[in-house]
Every structure is written in structure tokens, then in C-alpha cells.
Amino acid sequence: MSLDVLALRQQFPILAQQVDGKPLVYLDNAATTQKPQAMIDALVNFYTQCNANVHRGAHYLSDEATRRYERARDTVAGFIHASAREEVIWTSGTTEGINIVAHGMSKRLKTGEEVLVTEMEHHADLVTWQQACLQSGATLKVAPILDNGALDIAAFETLLNERTKMVALPHVSNALGTLNPIKEIAAMAKAKGALVLIDGAQGVAHGQVNVQDIGCDFYAFSGHKLFGPTGIGVLWGRKAVLEDWPVWQTGGEMISKVTYECSTWGALPNRLEAGTPNIAGAIGMAAAIAWFQSLDLAAVQSHEKQLLAHATEQAMAFEGLRLVGTAPDKIGVMSFILEGSHPADVGFILDKQGVAIRTGDHCAQPLMRRLGVPGTARASLSIYNTLEEVDMLFKALKKAQMMLA
């Protein structure tokens, strides 16, 4: 079954607009995806039909808001194949999810123990674990990548040992598009007794995620990269691990009993969800997931592979353009350097032609230093992009190359 991309695009109002008189070609999906009308309608419906706080209101609006909010948790649990709904913890996004895990580990790590990350980490993962190690006295180890952007599995395995207490890595690199063998890595880490955290920000919108099959302990992702709202995300954690995890924030909703002398914490998921939650965000995220699940996943993946293959083929034939990140297993990201040009200048000229890409270090400064570049231009693809849009990207790049020569 093929994906009817033109019909799909009709569900995204923003894609119909023009930029500087040119049709919008949105190729910054790794930063955030655009939103289908079904998700937008869910947000509007909540705010116009049942806006209220959840869980303790003694009235209809609160009851209805609570039902929708908790149904959203069930939707997420089913989407990622969680074994229990209380394993789904609402967060503000991937970054907060990683911080919850790192905060807990900083209370448990000891001098002489190690955390293992990779050279392709986003700052949200790298800096957070760097700080956890500084606070605890543990040591941060960094597994190298190969020159093509793939993880050096042999080197990773060498660094992994009985002192390793946490392995943290991305499902997909935001800067390179590298798809990591997370199931294999999780098995290797578990054999050494380490916990495993997967940064799923870039992976969750490209294919089915089954946390049980992966074998990790934590999986964090954001709603806004999954066709949902900003400001909402999920930390999934294995129930046996989360049940006594150190609390992240204190306040309302997460407590069991409070006196002036002491407090006790509630059960999952409440113990890790202090304060008024992002109710509308959770409901919007669930609507985005329901919309995404209504699509033919095989057709979606086939279309995205076709887009990336078409873009890569044109890039390889483009004189003066160098691809950055050519791992054999990639998803949806093409980073590149236009020789003799600064990525920011390339991005500016492309924008004037209606083509939206991202430029810079992509929150991965150590990775850029490893690759010997100050930054890259990055085109990132999603399900609503077309082969014609890829052609428009390279037409715009030709113009940029002429102007910057």
C-alpha cells in the first residue's frame, strides 16, 4: 500500500502557506513536526468543552478533563507497548525525562562507577549525564563513532564493564540521522548489570516503538516531534525500576501524606508528576498518536526511505556538496556542507526561496568537533514531504551555491 501524500498534506493547514511568495517547503522536522488538524481540533475541543483541573474537582468539567487526561496515558502506553499504564510519566519533553533519570542516578552513583554515552549525543543527554557524574563522583565514558557517523560497536563493547551503571544513547542521532542498534546495545548493557536509557526524541515518529522488545529501562520522547503540541513529553520507565526512583520535584499531586515534620510520596505515576500537569498537551499528544496510528506504518516507512534515498542520490551527484553522516542505517536526516559557504548563509538563502532547513551545531558541539566542522546544514524529512520538495531543495541549493561563490 502506498501513502497518499497529497491527501495527507491537506490535513496540515500550515503547509498551504507561502514564504516570500514561494510555496513553503518544510524540511526542519527533526526540530519539530507540523501538526495535523485532528490534533489541533483536540486542543480546541478541550479548551472550549471541558477545561478544568484534573483528579480532585467535584464537578462535571473536572471529571471529563480527568477522563480525557487519563485516557491519553492509556493511548501512550499502548503506542509504546508499556506493560502498565503507570509506567508512563508525563514530562515537558525529552529533556525533562532525561533529567528525571539523571537526577535519580546522581543519588545512587558512587565514585568509581561509570556512565557510558556516545559521541553523537544531543546536549540534553550529554550535559545532563556530565552533571550527574560531577555531582556523584562517577566517571563519564564516551563511546566513539566511526567516520561515517555510525556507532563503533566494538569500541562501545570494550568500554562497557561491571563498573558501568548507566548506558544512555539516542535511538536516532538528531544531527546525523544514524539509527542505532538499540536492542543489541540494551542486551549488552543488561548483561553487565547496567540500566539503559534511550533518547527517543528522533526515533518515535518514524516507526513503531516497543519498549518491551527493546529491553531498555527508560525511553524518553517529546510530543512536538510526534505531530503533537510543544511542552509535553513522556518518560517511560520499567515499573520495577520506577517504583522507588528518587522523586524529581515535590509539591501537589505527588504526595501521600504531609505533616509539618515529614511527607511521604504517592504511588506511580503520581510520585513523579508534581503540580498541575499539562492537561491539554497530554490530550493533544494522544490525539496526534491516534492520528499517526491510523496511517499504514509500512507505507509511511517506505515513503520516508524513498525520500531519503532520493535526497542522498541528488546530494552525491551535487558537485561541491559534502554529506556529513553516511551510516548505512539512517532515518530522515541529511546533514551537509556546501563547500566554501557557511551553513548559516546557506540557510538564509534557502529560506528566501521558501525552503526551511536548520543550520548550526544541532545541540551537538562535541560531535561537530569530532567531525571537524563548525556546524552543518540539515534537511530533515517527514511523512508529508514529497519527492518534488526534495527537488526544490536542490534547486534552491544550486542558487545558493551560485550566490555564495
Q: What is the pLDDT of residues 279-322, one digit of tens each?
A: 999 999 999 999 999 999 999 999 999 999 999 999 999 999 99
Reported confidence tier of residue 208, pLDDT bands at 50, 70, 90: confident
CATH number of the domain enclosing 239: 3.40.640.10
CATH number of the domain enclosing 325: 3.90.1150.10
Three-state secondary structure along 62-84? HHHHHHHHHHHHHHHHHHHCCCC
Are 259 and 302 contained in the same domain?
A: no
Task: Kindly tell me if the per-residue pLDDT of 405 is higher than 90.
Answer: no
> What is the average pLDDT across 252-261?
94
Task: Tell me how crowded residue 121 is: count the other CB atoms within 10 A of its CB.
Answer: 26
d(CA 317, CA 314): 5
Burial of 55 (0-12, 13-18, 19+ CB in 10 A): middle
Task: Kindly tell me if the per-residue pLDDT of 2 is higher than 90.
Answer: no
Predicted pLDDT at 56: 83
Are 305 and 227 contained in the same domain?
A: no
Task: Tell me how crowded residue 325 is: count the other CB atoms within 10 A of its CB.
Answer: 24
Angle between helices 343-351 and 387-404 (to 10 degrees): 120
Predicted pLDDT at 202: 97
State which residues form the domain around 372.
5-31+296-404
Task: Kindly tell me if the per-residue pLDDT of 326 is higher than 80.
Answer: yes
Task: Kindly tell me if the per-residue pLDDT of 6 is higher than 90.
Answer: yes
Task: Kindly tell me if the per-residue pLDDT of 194 is higher than 90.
Answer: yes
Q: What percent of the chain has pLDDT over 90?
A: 98
Are 90 and 14 contained in the same domain?
A: no
d(CA 328, CA 46): 44
Average pLDDT, the chain: 97
Task: Kindly tell me if the per-residue pLDDT of 207 is higher than 90.
Answer: no
Q: What is the CA radius of gyration of the chain?
A: 22
Structural domain tally of the chain? 2
Are 161 and 246 contained in the same domain?
A: yes
Q: Give pLDDT tens digits for 61-120.
A: 999 999 999 999 999 999 999 999 999 999 999 999 999 999 999 999 999 999 999 999
CB of 149 closer than 8 Å to CB of 179: no
> Which has the closest alpha carbon to 202: 170, 229, 227?
170
Predicted pLDDT at 1: 62
Distances in whole angstroms, Cα of residue 168 to Cα of each of 118, 190, 196, 318, 378:
8, 12, 6, 36, 24
Are 162 and 25 contained in the same domain?
A: no
Are 238 and 386 contained in the same domain?
A: no
Are 252 and 354 contained in the same domain?
A: no
Predicted pLDDT at 133: 98
Active site residues: 363
Reported confidence tier of residue 340, pLDDT bands at 50, 70, 90: very high
Predicted pLDDT at 368: 97
